[in-house]
Structure 1
Amino acid sequence: MHDWNALLTAATGRVARLIDEVDLTASVPACPEWCVADLVEHLGSVHQWARHAVLEGTPEGRPEDAPADLSELAAWYAGHAGDLVETLATTDPAAPAWTFGRGVGTAGWWARRQTHEVSIHTYDLLSAAGREEEWQPDPVLAWDGVREVQDTFYLRQVKMARTEPLAGTLVLEATDVPGGADPVRIGDGEPHVHLRGTARELLLLLWHRATTDDPAAAPPERLRRFVHDFSAWHASHSRVGRIVQYEFDALPPEHRSEVAALRRAIERVMQRVLEGGVTHPALEGPQPGRGQALLCQAIPSGDVTQQC
């Protein structure tokens, strides 16, 4: 069981020290539109917002702006981080609070959320100074960050239409959690894509702070697996799996809409695979119709269907 208040105290204290060590005008690699000062303002503002959610039970807090004088930024951040830590330390973790995500909100939820918020942005601060290798979170804590993406952020991003639901299931397996850890599954479709690595590596991948050189994630292998799985499914479901165009046109409106939605979803998956392979040498070639032929394999709707 994590002592979230202690972890948050340590994490915010580290950020406060880093503010005095890092060039506040340096660009943040993961957020290129931000400099370090912008990142610090973001963190301090989020701390104020979270504290308001605990004290007032609403998401409508209005954070105080960061000072224009960068020499005052460290003290501004430390003050608001300290206010949040004190509020959480003196509030029953089970006390009701406004939160996002599933379930009834509690103050304790915010202690966990803010710890992970500070942790990943500590990586950003260090990376702005070329010191990202100093970010070595405890594997158990990093793995909980992976679980938070699964149980809170993936669902939130889909609900808010910031991302489309995964077409398959991402299965993450940590190699360094003491005593082992059950795999984390994000999504609920087919195919399953498996990634193994340290908890740190997998957390950075999920937050788009790193990429993978796993061959299974490369465009050629993704394309091969997509076509294989698509064809195999239809081969084993030949009586129920394929609706040709004349059958589609004869369906009742509600069934036609359902099938059309499935076709569009399949097409989007194939398009993403092909877009990912645009610059990959293994998919280069003089055949201009190759991509269209592959899209036809996926039974898309619209103009491409008419040319298949």
Structure 2
Amino acid sequence: MEILEHEGRSLADAAEQAGPGAPVPACPDWRVRDLLRHTGVVHRWAAGFVADACPTPRPMEEHPDLDGTELLAWYRAGHRALLDTLREAKPDVACWTFLPGAESGLGFWARRQAHETAVHRWDAQAARGGDPTPVATDFAVDGVDELLRGFHARRRSRVRTPEPRVLRIRATDADAVWTVRLSQEPPVTARDAAGDAECEVSGPAAELYLSLWNRLPVPEVTGDQALAELWRKTSAVV
């Protein structure tokens, strides 16, 4: 929860410094105002499932027609409400989640919103200018795991290959490696280094985290470069 609190505040601070009209480099169609509207709506959407113990999916609200200081205040209020909701919820609250492997609804939403907010905090700091603050190694490893074994385990993942292929992801500063088996079906990822891989993407966990979310170039690629390029072109979460 501390990470979610820190990242959310840092996002707001960077957005205020950048100004609502600043472009967001990783999202060419977005300005900072779009980033705030999106993240603020996601925070409210997530909090609602926990607060209401909602067992089924429901749509997000429309983006607010706010800008400038009013938009910043709206974003900060939603972030605070999300934190309060998560902290006050019963540990065993039952609610809808959307990734496989979640042990609890509360744990799922706390984790998902921490990573959602961290990536968009990086976006806000990139829009502000200067070097964005890197994420911690352990947190980055968890984020890579969520992306590979959560988001891309779903049928909607577009990372597919006509024939079976194997991609390996390796953090060079942590005991973390993933083997991603690609085919015409959704990727199947194991937290191991079993078997041979045709391509390996490696680097510090914080850089892998952002590169796999298409925020930074891939740190290092060995083997078949086409598999790394396939990821870049098809891995956007939908």
Q: Per the shorter chain, which TM-score range?
A: 0.7 to 0.9
Of 37, 47, 53, 2:49 maps to 53
Change (3 A) 1:87 1:168: same
Aligned equivalents of 1:81, 1:145: Cα separation in 2: 20
1:176-204, Cα deviation, whole Å (9 max, x unpaired): 23xxx131223356743212210111111
Structure scoring higher RCO (CA < 8 A, sep ≥ 6) equals 2
Alpha-carbon distance in 1 for matches of 2:140, 2:218? 17
Amino acid at match of 2:199: V
Displacement of 1:78 in angstroms is 0.6
Identity %: 32
Superposition TM-score, scaled by structure 1 size: 0.63
Which residue is equivalent to 1:44? 40
Does the residue aligned with 2:86 lie in a helix, a strand or coil? helix
Listed as ranges, the gaps of 5+ residues in structure 1 are 224-268, 276-308
| Residue 210, structure 1, aligned to residue 216, structure 2 | yes
Q: Distance in 2 between matches of 1:214 and 1:62?
A: 37
Alignment check: 8 A CA contact 1:13 1:78 kept: yes
Between the aligned partners of 2:125 and 2:101, the Cα distance in structure 1 is: 34
Which residue identity does 1:211 align to in structure 2?
A: P
Any gaps of 5 or more consecutive residues in structure 2? 184-195, 234-238
Classify the secondary structure of the residue corresponding to 2:159.
coil
Q: CA deviation at 1:169?
A: 2.5
- State the Cα distance separating 1:107 from its structure 2 match: 1.4
The residue that corresponds to 1:185 in the other structure is 179
Larger Rg: 1
Letter in 2 for 1:185: T
In the alignment, is the contact (CA less than 8 A) between 1:94 and 1:108 conserved in 2?
A: no
Query: 1:32-58 deviations in whole A, cap 9, x for unaligned?
Result: 011110011000000011111222313
| Equivalent residue, structure 2, for 1:14 | 10
- The answer to whether the Cα contact below 8 Å between 1:88 and 1:108 also exists between their aligned partners in 2 is no
Change (3 A) 1:129 1:18: closer
Which whole-Å CA distance do the structure 2 matches of 1:213 and 1:15 have between them? Answer: 25
Residue equivalent to 1:172: 169
State the AA in 2 paired with 1:60.
R
Output the amino acid matched with 2:127: A
Q: Which amino acid aligns with 1:63?
A: E
- TM-score, normalised with respect to structure 2: 0.79
SS of alignment partner, residue 169 of structure 2: strand
Native 8 Å contact 2:172 2:205 kept in 1: yes
Query: Using the alignment, how far apart are the partners of 1:214 and 1:14 within structure 2?
Result: 29
Query: May I ask how many residue pairs the two structures share in their alignment?
Result: 212
- Correspondences of 1:104-253 after superposition (within 5 Å): 105-131=104-130, 133-156=131-154, 159-160=155-156, 162-165=157-160, 167-177=164-174, 181-187=175-181, 191-212=197-218, 214=220, 216=222, 222=225
